[in-house]
A and B are shown apart, each in its own frame.
Chain A
């Protein structure tokens, strides 16, 4: 299995630009999670989906952030417009409910907003 795939691995953009992060979960997994990691705030859960349906988006910092999961094999996290304080590593993780609670994390996307 290829594991969770994220793209791009690195993104550098200017303030005000739109940023789209992509995630392909492990095939067959029915949960997908988006996290943000910074030195100051640690690992924060932004939003998660079950069977492509958003369950809890209370961690999304503000309306500039949006996430979609149009099908079981693809999800996006969009930031529009981006700000320097959005600079962080964004992780996608997935899990399969019948196998317990282990979440499998992708390699992350390092976002830098200048």
Chain B
């Protein structure tokens, strides 16, 4: 019940394309859903996050869509660039007494060709 399932494992798009990465969860206590971006040789870094009281959040070219009833959320990257090539992780957290413990998805390796 604590798992977050992420797909696809890898994704290749052309520059300007709109890659979409999907995540699904079971634990209805999750109330914070961040996406982390990781470049080779670096640690993950927070990209964007959403709470379940909204269905969409946009920051620059990155958008999270959230479907509470389906227990799914996704990351869309508009006008993707080669510099967006990285590994993306979705995560989820149950507030309250979880002490901020994040449960991560398996990651998606995104390659954007020029």
Contact = CB atoms under 8 A, between A and B. Distances in A.
B12 to A, nearest CB: 18
Contacts, number: 50
B43 A101 contact: no
Interface residues of A, number: 21
A34 B42 CA distance: 15
By DSSP majority rule, is chain A's interface helix, strand, loop, or mixed? strand
Contacts of A95: 100
B43 A48 contact: no
B42 A101 contact: no
B57 to A, nearest CB: 14
Given A97-B100, A105-B44, 5 more contacts: A31-B100, A101-B95, A102-B34, A102-B49, A103-B46
Interface of B: 32, 34, 41-46, 49, 89, 93, 95, 99-102, 104-107
